[in-house]
């Protein structure tokens, strides 16, 4: 080999390694997050008890990801090369102990024209897909201010509920919390007409983490309708609705305060203090 050939071989090897690194990176990371919006999600049950969850929407150019905020914080610590194993464990425990945990991760992917929803019915993790814009919106002329932004009103029906949303034309993105999307501005506030469910923006800021596919092992792919029906039924009595034959191992972990977490086949069973009020009825 002369020097020219060696240089060419090195260049090819270098390029191949770069291509592999890129493809590995792309597998996990879908898009750079340009902005993040934190939302308070409030749900009021039939006894007029209101639970407040903290959630976050990562906003990229062509996709978005909505998830529970403690899960996002845990991901942030995991992604930081300077995090100690103690830090990682602390945030994982915080995520596990969170009894008000929003257990859906919703990825909106505009180029693919679909949404992917990741959720759980212990002892299994599930994923289903639906079309990118599941709601037909009627746009109104009223305005209101949410989180410091002037917003316009839109109404639509989804999942057996009628929804009112307020979106900010000043923030030029078509995304919003949960499954709300397809409007000419970021959805800042959304609530159903019975005032049971309410998503309200509390902080809008620059993006910090890339938007990534959830790293969930042994995921079961299912149809949306089937999942909603099974999830709502399961949550009526979580302990009683797990088939005993599906349990291969059950672990109860206690933290320093004596608070326990139940894991069934490695999947957490969350017992909600005030019961479950479904977001989707159908």
Mean pLDDT of the chain: 87
DSSP 21: H
Q: How far is CA 170 from the centre of its chain?
A: 24
Asked whether the predicted pLDDT for residue 184 surpasses 70, the reply is yes
Q: For position 12, what pLDDT does the model report?
A: 47
What distance in Å separates the CA atoms of residue 14 and residue 22, rounded to the nearest whole number? 12
pLDDT band for position 19 (cuts 50, 70, 90) = very low
13's CB contacts (< 8 A; 6+ apart) are none
Asked whether the predicted pLDDT for residue 17 surpasses 50, the reply is no
Of 13, 72, 10, the closest CA to residue 37 belongs to 72
Asked whether the predicted pLDDT for residue 259 surpasses 50, the reply is yes
* Between 132 and 173, residue with greater pLDDT: 173
Reduced to 3 states, what is the DSSP secondary structure of residue 113?
coil
Neighbours of 153 (CB within 10 A): 17
Q: Quick one: CA torsion of 45, 47, 49, 51, rounded to 10 degrees?
A: -20
Scored b (16 or more CB within 10 A) or e, 214-235 reads: beeeeeeebeeeebbeebbebb
Q: Is 44 exposed, middle or buried (0-12, 13-18, 19+ CB in 10 A)?
A: middle
* Between 73 and 26, residue with greater pLDDT: 73
Asked whether the predicted pLDDT for residue 280 surpasses 70, the reply is yes
Contact 104, 118 (CB under 8 A): yes
Q: Which of 4-8, 103-107, 201-205 has the lowest mean pLDDT?
A: 4-8
pTM above 0.75, yes or no: yes
């Amino acid at each position: 080999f002369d020097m020219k050939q060696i240089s060419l071989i090195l260049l090819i090897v270098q390029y191949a390694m770069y291509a592999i690194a890129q493809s590995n990176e792309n597998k996990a990371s879908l898009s750079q997050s340009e902005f993040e919006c934190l939302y308070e999600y409030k749900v009021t049950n039939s006894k007029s008890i209101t639970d407040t969850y903290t959630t976050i929407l990562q906003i990229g150019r062509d996709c978005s990801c909505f998830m529970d905020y403690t899960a996002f914080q845990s991901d942030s610590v995991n992604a930081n090369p300077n995090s100690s194993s103690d830090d990682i464990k602390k945030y994982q425990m915080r995520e596990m102990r969170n009894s008000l945990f929003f257990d859906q991760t919703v990825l909106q992917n505009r180029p693919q024209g679909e949404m992917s929803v990741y959720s759980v019915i212990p002892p299994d993790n599930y994923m289903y897909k639906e079309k990118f814009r599941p709601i037909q919106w009627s746009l109104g002329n009223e305005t209101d201010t949410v989180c410091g932004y002037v917003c316009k009103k839109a109404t639509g029906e989804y999942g057996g509920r009628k929804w009112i949303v307020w979106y900010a034309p000043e923030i030029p993105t078509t995304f919003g919390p949960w499954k709300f999307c397809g409007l000419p501005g970021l959805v800042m506030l959304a609530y159903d007409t019975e005032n049971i469910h309410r998503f309200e923006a509390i902080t809008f800021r620059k993006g910090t983490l890339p938007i990534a596919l959830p790293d969930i092992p042994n995921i079961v792919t299912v149809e949306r309708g089937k999942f909603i029906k099974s999830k709502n039924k399961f949550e009526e009595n979580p302990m009683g609705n797990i088939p005993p034959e599906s349990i291969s191992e059950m672990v109860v972990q206690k933290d320093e305060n004596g608070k326990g977490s139940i894991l069934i086949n490695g999947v957490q069973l969350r017992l909600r203090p005030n019961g479950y009020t479904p977001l989707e009825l159908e």
